[in-house]
Amino acid sequence: MAARAKKRAVKRQEVLEQEYKDLAQRQKPKTPVVRNVLVAYLVGGLICVLGQAITQLYLRLGFSPEDVGNPTAATLILISAVLTGLGVYDVIGQFAGAGSAVPVTGFANSVVSAALEFKREGLVLGVGARMFSLAGPVIVYGAVTAFVVGIIKALLR
């Protein structure tokens, strides 16, 4: 008898949990996907237009098309670092999502904001150790990909 009562209690518990899950599902705010994608397109596109303008500027200053990538990236990273220090880039990020995360400015923002956030843990264990806590995976998997592609090309030579 006791076993049957226990089973019933468990069953009731499961029903309640399912009802709770359904309710939570209904109450969850719907992600405005269309709005997010359009804003990401617009902001990401504009950051690339800024990059194109900086590229044109350095080309005019005498950099060759092969060499223009470095000063362009460094300039975008500098702009992003200052905006992150001022707290502006994180506001853009909340608005633009992937539009500001995917460009190189987003990579810089992840490095600078991590350095800044962990400043209170000290210059070595905070700033030094945590700087790449967000950007690290990108570097690790990028390097692994480059290594694998390089080995495959070496084997095919």
Partner 1 sequence: MGNYVTAFFVGGLICALAQLLFDLTTLTPAHVLTLFVVLGGILSGLGLYEPLVRFAGAGATVPITSFGHQLVQGALRELETHGWVGVLAGIFDLTSAGITAAIIFGFLVALLFNPKD
Residues 1-30 that bind partner 1 (CB under 8 A): none
Among 33, 61, 62, 124, binds partner 1 (CB under 8 A): 33
Of 2 and 124, which CB lies nearer to partner 1 in the complex structure?
124
User: In degrees, to the nearest 5, what angle opens at C-alpha 134 toward C-alphas 141 and 93?
Assistant: 115
Residue 25: CB minimum distance to partner 1, A? 15
Please report whether residue 156 would count as binding partner 1 according to CB under 8 A: no
CB neighbour list of residue 108: distance below 8 Å, 6 or more residues apart: 76, 77, 80, 81, 84
Please report whether residue 44 would count as binding partner 1 according to CB under 8 A: yes
For residue 52, how many other CB atoms are within 10 A of its CB?
11
Contact indicator for 130, 81 with CB cutoff of 8 Å: no
Please report whether residue 152 would count as binding partner 1 according to CB under 8 A: yes
Among residues 85, 92, 144, 150, which one has the least CA distance to residue 113? 85
Of 23 and 91, which CB lies nearer to partner 1 in the complex structure?
91
Span of 2-10, 13-21, 142-150 interacting with partner 1 by CB under 8 A: 142-150
How far apart are the C-alpha atoms of 105 and 47, rounded to whole Å? 8
90-129 mask for partner 1 (x: CB under 8 A)?
x------xxx-xxxxxxxx--xx-xxxx-xx------x--
The dihedral of CA 85, 88, 90, 92: what is its sign? negative
How far apart are the C-alpha atoms of 96 and 79, rounded to whole Å? 17
Among 12, 14, 17, 145, binds partner 1 (CB under 8 A): 145
Residue 143: CB minimum distance to partner 1, A? 5
Residue 93: CB minimum distance to partner 1, A? 10
How far apart are the C-alpha atoms of 36 and 23, rounded to whole Å? 25
Please report whether residue 81 would count as binding partner 1 according to CB under 8 A: yes
